[in-house]
C-alpha cells in the first residue's frame, strides 16, 4: 500500500481516538467492522425534523445536509450530518448520535470528529467552523456544544500523522484497553489485541 497517498476519513479520526488498533485493522489488515443493529438504528434517525432544536438555536441562513468535504492538504474527507451557515458568516457542524453522552459530556472521539469536520470544511468550502454540536438522542435528546479551537484542529492534524505512521510501520499500535470500551467495540471479533490482557507490573 502506498500509505503516503492514503485518503483518510473523519470517521478514521474518531476510530483512532476510540482505539488506534482500529486503524491497523482497517488499513493494514484490510478488514471492516460488522454492521450492527445499533449502527442501522443510527442511520435511520437522520431526519431533518430531528434537528429542529438545533435550527431554532442557531437560526442558520443555510442548512447543508451530508455535504462532502475534503482536505487534500492532509488527505482527509468526510460527510457530516449537517453543516449550518450562520448569518454571522461562520459554520456550525452538527452530528446526531443515537448514543448516550459520557458522564462529563461530549465523548473525546466525538469531539475530535467535530474538529476533523471543521478542518475539512475550511479546506473544502473556506468556511470557518467556530462551533460543533453533538446531539445525543439517548437517554433523552440533549445538545452539547464544542468550541472549535486551534488546539483541537492541531490535535486532529497530529492524529492524521499518527494514523499514517501506523500504516507505514505495518504492525498494531498499543491498544486502549478498557473492559467497557473493548466490549462495545464492533471490531472486537477481528482485533489482534482482543485476547491479550493488559500488562501489569510484576513485583519481585
Structural domain boundaries in the chain: 3-190
Q: How is the chain split among helix, strand and coil, in percent rounded to 5?
A: 40, 20, 40
Q: What is the CATH number of domain 3-190?
A: 3.90.320.10
β-strand pairing of 8-9 with 142-147: unpaired
Give Rg (Cα) of the chain: 18
pTM of the model: 0.88
C-alpha torsion 73→76→81→87, nearest 10: -10
Tens digit of each residue's pLDDT, the chain (204 residues): 445 679 999 999 999 999 999 999 999 999 987 655 555 555 555 567 888 999 999 999 999 999 999 999 999 999 999 999 998 889 999 999 999 999 999 999 999 999 999 999 999 999 999 999 999 999 999 999 999 999 999 999 999 999 999 999 999 999 988 878 888 898 988 999 875 544 444 443
Amino acid at each position: 500500500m502506498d500509505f503516503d497517498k492514503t485518503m483518510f476519513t473523519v470517521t478514521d479520526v474518531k476510530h483512532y481516538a476510540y482505539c488506534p488498533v482500529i486503524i491497523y485493522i482497517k488499513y493494514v489488515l484490510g478488514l471492516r467492522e460488522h454492521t450492527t443493529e445499533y449502527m442501522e438504528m443510527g442511520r435511520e434517525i437522520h431526519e431533518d425534523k430531528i434537528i429542529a432544536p438545533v435550527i431554532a438555536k442557531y437560526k442558520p441562513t443555510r442548512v447543508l445536509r451530508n455535504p462532502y468535504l475534503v482536505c487534500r492538504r492532509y488527505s482527509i474527507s468526510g460527510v457530516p450530518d449537517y453543516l449550518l451557515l450562520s448569518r454571522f458568516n461562520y459554520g456550525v457542524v452538527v452530528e446526531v448520535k443515537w448514543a448516550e453522552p459520557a458522564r462529563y459530556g461530549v465523548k473525546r472521539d466525538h469531539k475530535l470528529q467535530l474538529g476533523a469536520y471543521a478542518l475539512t470544511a475550511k479546506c473544502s468550502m473556506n468556511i470557518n467552523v467556530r462551533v460543533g454540536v453533538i446531539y445525543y438522542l439517548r437517554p433523552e435528546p440533549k445538545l452539547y456544544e464544542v468550541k472549535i479551537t486551534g488546539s483541537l484542529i492541531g490535535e486532529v492534524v497530529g492524529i492524521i500523522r499518527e494514523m499514517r505512521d501506523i500504516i507505514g510501520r505495518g504492525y498494531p499500535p498499543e491498544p486502549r484497553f478498557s473492559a467497557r470500551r473493548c466490549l462495545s467495540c464492533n471490531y472486537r471479533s477481528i482485533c489482534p489485541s482482543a485476547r491479550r490482557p493488559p500488562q501489569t507490573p510484576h513485583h519481585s
